[in-house]
Amino acid sequence: MCLRGARWSFIRVHGDPKGIEVNPLKIKSIIDMKAPTCLNEVQRLTGRIAALSRFISKSAEKSLPFFKTLRKAKTFEWGTPCQLAFEELKAYLARFPLLVKPSPGETLYLYLSVTP
C-alpha cells in the first residue's frame, strides 16, 4: 500500500506529506482539562502526556512536577510548580506539534534519558 501524497490516520496520529501530527482530539482533552484536584486526576494527566510524548519536546522534564506530586501519594498537593508546568504544557500543545523530517545540513539534537 502506498500513501505517498495522501493524508492518513492511525490510532493517535495523522499524517500527510508535510509530516506527522497528533490527533487534535488528544490535544483538546488536555487543553480543556481543569487543574487536577486529586491523585487520580494527576495520574490521568500523566497518562495523556505519555500518550503524546513523541510530540512533546523534553516531555519528562515538562511533566516532572506532576510525577513529584504522585510520589507524595499520601497527601495531594497541587502547588505553584505544578500549576506553572500545567499551564506551560497547555500553551505548548496549543501550538499543535508536528513531527517533520530533518532538513539536510541543519543541526539535529538528540535527547537521551539514561538511568543507572
Tens of pLDDT, residue by residue over 75-101, are: 788 889 999 999 999 998 888 656 667
Tens of pLDDT, residue by residue over 14-27, are: 566 666 777 777 88
Please spell the DSSP secondary structure of the chain, one letter per residue.
Answer: ---TT--EEETTEEEETTEEEE-HHHHHHHHTPPPP-SHHHHHHHHHHHHHTGGGSTTHHHHTHHHHHHHHSTTS----HHHHHHHHHHHHHHHT--EE-PPPTTS----------
User: What is the rounded CA–CA span in Å between residue 18 and residue 14?
Assistant: 11
**Taking the model in full, what pTM does it have?**
0.69
Tens of pLDDT, residue by residue over 7-62, are: 656 556 656 666 677 777 788 888 899 999 999 999 999 998 988 887 788 888 99
Nearest Cα neighbor of 77 from 68, 85, 86 is: 68
